Amino acid sequence: MSSSKPSKPNSKATALPIQHADIEWKNNVPYSKYFDDVYYSTTNGYQESEYNFQQQSSLKSRWQNHASQQTFTIIETGFGSGLNFFATWKNWRNTEKKPKHLYFISTELYPLKLQHIQHAINDWPELTPFLNEFMDQYPPPTQGFHQRQFSADNLTLLLLFGDATERLTEMTHPADTWFLDGFNPKKNPDLWSSALFQQINRLSKADTNLATYTSSIEVQRKLAAINFDVEKRPGYGKKREMLVATRNLKQPPNSNPNTSNANSTNTTSNTSNTNTNTNTNNARPDHTLSQNSPVKGASIPTAQADKKPWFNIQSPVKSTEKSAVIIGAGIAGMCCAASLAQRGWNVTVLEKNNDCAKEGSGNPWGALYTRFNTYPSPVNQFFQSSFNFSVGYMNALHKQAPLENFWNPCGLLQCAFSDKEEEQLRALAKSGFWPKSLLSYKTPTQASAIAGVKIDRPGLWIPSSGLVSPRGLCQFILKQHPNIQLRCNQHVATLTPIKKKQQDYWQLLDSDSKLISESQIVIIANAHAAHELNPTRYLPVSQIRGQLSYFSCTETSKQLKTIVSYEGYILPSDRLTNNGHSHLLGATFHPKDNHLKLRKKDHQQNLLQLSRVSEDLAEQLGKNNASESLAGRVGFRCQSPDYLPMVGPIPVLDQFIADYAGLRVGKLKKDYPPGTYYPGLYCNVAHGSKGLISAPISAEIITSYIENSPQPLPEKLLHSVHPARFIIRKLKRREY
C-alpha cells in the first residue's frame, strides 16, 4: 500500500521535478498512498463538493452580491481530481447574475495524471462537458504557475504546481473565497501549517469567506487567529462537522496564527517542517518549504512589495468606458487586443503600415521554442513558463477554429550542434528535472525516425512545440473579435496627457499634430519604435537583423515532419510553409545591422548551420538551390539588454530618479515611496527572438495590470520583465 517517498521539490537551483500523485482506487474513489487518505467522499464526491464548498460558502449568492465586480477569485488548496473546479465551473456557467470573470486558483503538490482525472470525473456525466474542454489544457507537471483560459465562460484556471504555501507567497491577488481541501490535517499537517494561514491572512480581503470539509480544532484556532469568524456546520455523508469562516476585521489584524491563544498547543508541524504527522504510513512525502515565506500582516500587499516599492503601481486607472488603444499591430499588440476584447473591452489598434503583422511579426511561420534547463534564472523561468502558456493558448484557440491556419503542433527536435551542447542536452534529460512528456533525449537514429529525414546529431524531442504563423494569428484575432478595430496607416508620433471630466486621458497625435485617437488606457506595442515616443524614449531597446531563407524542397526533404532546431532552425515544407514548395530556414542574428535587402552570404550561413546537424539535408538543399536566386525575408527583432521583454506600466523617469536617488549611494533599504507611473499607460515591447512564446502571456500580464486581476506569473517574474527595472539598475550603478 505504501509507496516510495519522492524527493523534496523546492524552488532552489537544485530543484527536482514535480512528482505525479501515487494513487489506488477504493470504491472507485482515488486514494493517495502518500497521504493515506481519499480525495473525496466514498458516498458521492460530487454531492460532497456541492455541499461543502459550493453551498456552504454561499458561492452563488456571493456571486450575485458581487456582480458589479470585474473579477471574483476562488483560491483552493489541493486541486486533486479537479472535482471542486468542475463543480464550480458548472455553477458559474448556470448563474446569470455574477461578476464578469471568474478566477479559480488552485495549488497542487502532486498532480494526478490526466487519465486518473478522467477516470474520476467520468463518474458524473453532468461534468464531462467541462472535463472535455479541460483535457488538452492540462499542463505538464512542472513547478510554477500554469494559467489556462476557458474564454467562452469568462473563466480562468490558474494552477499553481508545488507546495501550496510556497506558491501562495508568490501571489499578490486576494481571494474572495477560499476552499481548503488538502486531506485530513492529521494526515497532512505540513500543508495546514501556520505558514499557510499567514498566506491566507495576507491574501484575504475584508469580506473574504472560506469553506473547508475539516472541523479540526487546530484549523479553527488558526482561522480565528487570522481574524476569521468560524462556524461549525453539519458535515456531508459520514462526516459529522465541517467549517465555514468569514473574515472579521473588527479585531486588529494578527499576522501570526500561533499567538492568538497562548494556552492552545500547536500539534501540527510548522515551517520548520519536522515531520510531526500522526500518519503511521511513513510513505508520505516530505516537502520542505523554502524558508523565505514572508510573515506579514494583511496590510502588506505582496511578498516583495516592501522590498521593491518602485514596482508598485499605487492606483491603476479605472477605465470608465472599457476602451483601450494599442499602438502597433504585431503579435504583441494583437495578443493584447485579443486578451482585452475577450474581457469585453473595445480595442482600437493603430498601425503605421497598411496591414497588421508587417514588421517583426511578418514572417510566414516561426517556431515555438525556448531552451529548457535546470537553472531557475528569471530569463529561464520566464521563457519556460511562456512556452507552456503559449502551447496551451495555441491549442485552445485552434480548437475554437480548427480550419484556421496559424498553428501546427508538429513538435520540435532540438539538435546538439556541438559536442558541448550534446553533453548539456544529455545531462538535462538525465536530470529528470523536466517531465518526459515535455522533453526526452533522442539518439541520431531515433531523431531521424521522428524527423523523417537523416539527422546526424542527438537531441531533445519536444512534442508539444509547433509552428506558429504570427501573421495568421494576428489575422485570426481580428476575425474572431468584432470589438477590435484595426486602423491602418496611422503613425502615432506623440502622446499627450490631458484631463477630461477630471479623468486622465491620452491624446495620440500624428506627425502633423493631428488627433488620431484618445483613450484612458494606451498600450505601446511598437517594438523598437518605442524609443520614438516620449514616455518610453529612455527604454534600452535595440534592433537585431535576422534573415530567413526559403529553400525549394527535394523529394527527400519533403519527408521532414517536425521543426529541427540548432543554432538556427528548419521548418517542414508541407503546405503550411510557403505553399508547400519550400523550407523556411532561419535565422541570422546581426545586431547593429540595418541592411534591408537579402544577402547571399546570410542564405549560405543559414545552410551552413543546418549542415552541422544534417549534412545530407543541407547538401541536397544546397544542390537544389542557388543562393544567388534564393527568396527569403529580412526582419528586425527588438531586444532588451537582458533579453527579457518589457511588459507593464511605464514609469515617469524624472520622478523615479528623484524618489530613488538613495539607491545611487547604496541605500537599498530606505523607506521609499511606491513608483510613479503614467496613468493608464503600459508597454509591451522587446520580445527579441521569442515573441511567439512571450507575446501571449505578456498580453495576459498587461490585462491583469489594467483590470487589477490575478497575474499569470509569480511576482518575481513580473518584476523581471517590468519596464522600471532598467531605471533601478542604472541608479544602483550611478548611471543616472
Residues that bind ligand SAM (CB under 6 A): 21, 39-40, 77-78, 80-84, 107-110, 163-164, 181-183, 188, 190-191, 287
Task: Identify any residues that bridge with 675 across adjacent strands, giving them in sequence order.
Answer: 313
Give the footprint of ligand FAD on residues 670-699 (CB under 6 A). Answer: 685, 687-693
Select from 40-48, 67-75, 198-206, 365-373 the region that touches ligand FAD (CB under 6 A): 365-373
Of 66 and 358, the one with the shorter C-beta distance to ligand FAD is 358
The only residue of 174, 366, 632, 680 in contact with ligand FAD, by rule CB under 6 A:
366
Which of ligand SAM, ligand FAD, none sits in contact with 527, Cβ below 5 to 8 A by type? ligand FAD
Of 140 and 688, the one with the shorter C-beta distance to ligand FAD is 688
529 within 8 A of 535, measured Cβ to Cβ: no
The only residue of 157, 164, 289, 327 in contact with ligand FAD, by rule CB under 6 A:
327
Minimum distance, C-beta of residue 528 to ligand FAD, in the bound complex (Å)? 8
Opening angle at CA 396, ends 391 and 402, nearest 5: 110
Of 106 and 386, the one with the shorter C-beta distance to ligand SAM is 106
Minimum distance, C-beta of residue 641 to ligand FAD, in the bound complex (Å)? 16
Query: Does residue 494 belong to the site contacting ligand FAD (CB under 6 A)?
Result: no
Minimum distance, C-beta of residue 219 to ligand SAM, in the bound complex (Å)? 14
Which of ligand SAM, ligand FAD, none sits in contact with 181, Cβ below 5 to 8 A by type? ligand SAM
Select from 100-108, 165-173, 364-372, 479-487 the region that touches ligand FAD (CB under 6 A): 364-372
Which of ligand SAM, ligand FAD, none sits in contact with 328, Cβ below 5 to 8 A by type? ligand FAD
Spatial CB neighbours of 217, under 8 Å, sequence gap ≥ 6: none
The only residue of 185, 257, 376, 546 in contact with ligand FAD, by rule CB under 6 A:
546
Q: Alpha-carbon distance 495 to 327, whole Å?
A: 11
Task: Identify any residues that bridge with 155 across adjacent strands, giving them in sequence order.
Answer: 102, 150
Only one residue has cell 503579435, namely 331
Q: Alpha-carbon distance 344 to 682, whole Å?
A: 19
Instruction: List the 494-500 sheet strands across, edge first.
Output: 494-500, 503-509, 515-519
Minimum distance, C-beta of residue 633 to ligand FAD, in the bound complex (Å)? 7
Of 84 and 703, the one with the shorter C-beta distance to ligand SAM is 84
127 within 8 A of 86, measured Cβ to Cβ: yes
**Going by DSSP bridges, is the β-strand pair 241-247/204-212 parallel, antiparallel, or unpaired?**
antiparallel
Q: Alpha-carbon distance 530 to 326, whole Å?
A: 12
The only residue of 160, 230, 244, 367 in contact with ligand FAD, by rule CB under 6 A:
367
In 3D space, the residue among 626, 701, 689, 707 whose CA is nearest the CA of residue 368 turns out to be 689
Which of ligand SAM, ligand FAD, none sits in contact with 36, Cβ below 5 to 8 A by type? none
Minimum distance, C-beta of residue 494 to ligand FAD, in the bound complex (Å)? 10
Which of ligand FAD, ligand SAM, none sits in contact with 492, Cβ below 5 to 8 A by type? ligand FAD
Query: Does residue 166 belong to the site contacting ligand FAD (CB under 6 A)?
Result: no
DSSP state at residue 571: E
Set of cell numbers at residue 710: 490575478
Of 259 and 274, the one with the shorter C-beta distance to ligand SAM is 274
Minimum distance, C-beta of residue 540 to ligand SAM, in the bound complex (Å)? 40
**Alpha-carbon distances of 58 from 61, 104, 127, 203, rounded to whole Å:** 6, 16, 21, 20
Which of ligand FAD, ligand SAM, none sits in contact with 84, Cβ below 5 to 8 A by type? ligand SAM
196 within 8 A of 270, measured Cβ to Cβ: no
Of 695 and 717, the one with the shorter C-beta distance to ligand FAD is 695
The only residue of 352, 457, 719, 722 in contact with ligand FAD, by rule CB under 6 A:
352
Dihedral sign from CA coordinates of 359, 361, 364, 369: positive
223 within 8 A of 194, measured Cβ to Cβ: no
Site size for ligand FAD, by CB under 6 A?
43
Q: Alpha-carbon distance 562 to 705, whole Å?
A: 37
> Where does residue 218 fall: left (phi above 0), alpha (psi -120 to 50 degrees), or beta otherwise?
alpha
Please give the helix or strand (H or E) that residue 103 lies within, else none. strand 101-108
591 within 8 A of 495, measured Cβ to Cβ: no
Query: Does residue 586 belong to the site contacting ligand FAD (CB under 6 A)?
Result: yes
Q: Alpha-carbon distance 148 to 82, whole Å?
A: 14
Residues 500-539, one symbol each (x = binds ligand FAD by CB under 6 A, - = not), give -------------------------xxx-x----------
Minimum distance, C-beta of residue 174 to ligand SAM, in the bound complex (Å)? 19
Query: Does residue 478 belong to the site contacting ligand FAD (CB under 6 A)?
Result: no
Of 146 and 719, the one with the shorter C-beta distance to ligand SAM is 146
Query: Does residue 111 belong to the site contacting ligand FAD (CB under 6 A)?
Result: no
Minimum distance, C-beta of residue 285 to ligand SAM, in the bound complex (Å)? 9
Distance linking the first and last C-alpha atoms of the chain = 64
727 residue type, one letter: I
Q: Alpha-carbon distance 419 to 415, whole Å?
A: 11
Of 15 and 477, the one with the shorter C-beta distance to ligand FAD is 477
Which of ligand FAD, ligand SAM, none sits in contact with 285, Cβ below 5 to 8 A by type? none
Which of ligand SAM, ligand FAD, none sits in contact with 562, Cβ below 5 to 8 A by type? none
Give the footprint of ligand FAD on residues 611-650 (CB under 6 A). Answer: 635-638
Rg of the chain over Cα atoms, rounded to whole angstroms, equals 27
Only one residue has cell 504510513, namely 281
In 3-state terms, what secondary structure has residue 372?
coil
Spatial CB neighbours of 43, under 8 Å, sequence gap ≥ 6: 236, 237, 238
Dihedral sign from CA coordinates of 297, 302, 303, 309: negative
Minimum distance, C-beta of residue 493 to ligand FAD, in the bound complex (Å)? 7
The only residue of 492, 521, 613, 650 in contact with ligand FAD, by rule CB under 6 A:
492
Minimum distance, C-beta of residue 688 to ligand FAD, in the bound complex (Å)? 6
21 within 8 A of 112, measured Cβ to Cβ: yes
Distance between alpha carbon 110 and the CA centroid of its chain, in Å? 19
Query: Does residue 174 belong to the site contacting ligand FAD (CB under 6 A)?
Result: no
Binding site for ligand FAD (CB under 6 A): 327-333, 350-353, 358-361, 363, 366-367, 369, 470, 490-492, 525-527, 529, 546, 548, 586-587, 635-638, 685, 687-693
